[in-house]
């Protein structure tokens, strides 16, 4: 089970990677305090490219992300013989794309367009939106390409996470036998272990809180047993296929549709739509057919 953390930074040097430990600085105008569990970005990206059988793709990142944070992922795909290109996206995206057209020949631009068919964006959501808009308007990618926008549903998870943690702390503070964190001091060189941590984790796992994504609790494997996604059927053809819909308890519903893009190559597109509390959240991806 991965519990999101709070991160504090007063520096324009960029976001530190997940491997950073506890760091302090005596300067009041430039410090970073980072105490957090490991993130699983490397594992998630590897599962995505493996599932879609990508052998060649490009990773775009901006100045707000330290690309060394996915070094483990880069090492693994290199060992598997995948071809990965890295490109930093500048703040002025329009100027960056204009430079591409000015410096590349037609053959090079065509190869670049082919590379953009499989791309991963690791950047600020606002920058990512501007990037997608620019590459579509300049015809670097087709207008009907689909994108996975992770942050569109992440706010729901963040809200529910904070709600779950607040509820767990409330329950434990009412438990007089619980070892609170009041006796701990991070300033000491040898801080003693927190005896109440295991009890807190068990309380979090029990859940019992109703959030925006439904009932919050965790099974033995760390997953929420109340949320299920199933592909009930697919349709392969020229026109938009018949959609299949799976209602999930707690108000979150998922709908998956498939449509053929090219009968000769076998490529097809899939659109996943997530709906919750009247607000439609879209999640899109490009699939490579067999």
Backbone region of residue 53 per phi and psi (left: phi > 0; alpha: psi in -120 to 50; beta: other values): left
CA distance 57 to 76: 14
Tens digit of pLDDT for each residue in 129-162? 888 888 888 878 766 666 655 544 566 777 888 8
User: Going from the N-terminus, what domains does the chain have, and what CATH number goes with each?
Assistant: 40-151 (3.40.50.2300)
- Supply 179's token pair: 């070892």
- Using 50, 70 and 90 to split pLDDT, how confident is the model at 127? confident
Tens digit of pLDDT for each residue in 173-197? 787 666 655 554 554 545 556 667 7
The pLDDT score that the predictor gives to residue 191 is 53
The reported pTM is 0.44
């Amino acid at each position: 089970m991965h519990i999101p953390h709070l991160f504090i930074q007063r520096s324009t040097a960029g976001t530190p990677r997940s491997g950073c430990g506890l760091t302090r600085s005596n300067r009041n105008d430039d410090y970073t305090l980072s105490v957090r569990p490991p993130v699983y970005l490397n594992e998630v990206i590897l599962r995505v490219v493996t599932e879609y059988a990508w052998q060649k793709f490009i990773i775009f990142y901006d100045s707000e992300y330290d690309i060394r944070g996915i070094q483990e992922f880069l090492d693994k795909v290199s060992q598997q013989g995948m071809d990965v290109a890295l490109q930093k996206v500048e703040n002025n995206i329009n100027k960056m794309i204009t430079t591409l057209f000015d410096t590349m020949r037609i053959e090079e631009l065509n190869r670049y367009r082919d590379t953009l068919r499989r791309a991963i964006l690791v950047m600020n959501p606002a920058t990512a939106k501007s990037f997608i808009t620019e590459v579509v308007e300049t015809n670097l990618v087709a207008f009907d390409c689909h994108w996975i926008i992770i942050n569109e549903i992440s706010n729901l998870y963040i809200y529910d996470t904070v709600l779950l943690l607040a509820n767990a702390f409330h329950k434990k503070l009412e438990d007089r036998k619980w070892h609170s964190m009041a006796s701990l001091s991070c300033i000491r060189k040898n801080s003693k272990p927190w005896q109440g941590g295991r009890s807190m984790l068990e309380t979090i796992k029990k859940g019992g809180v109703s959030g925006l994504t439904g009932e919050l609790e965790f099974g033995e494997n760390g997953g929420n047993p109340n949320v299920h996604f199933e592909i009930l059927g697919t349709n392969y053809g020229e026109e938009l296929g018949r959609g299949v819909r799976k209602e999930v308890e707690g108000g979150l519903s998922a709908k998956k549709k498939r449509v053929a893009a090219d009968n000769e190559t076998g490529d097809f597109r899939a659109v996943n739509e997530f709906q919750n509390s009247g607000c439609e959240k879209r999640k899109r991806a490009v699939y490579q057919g067999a």
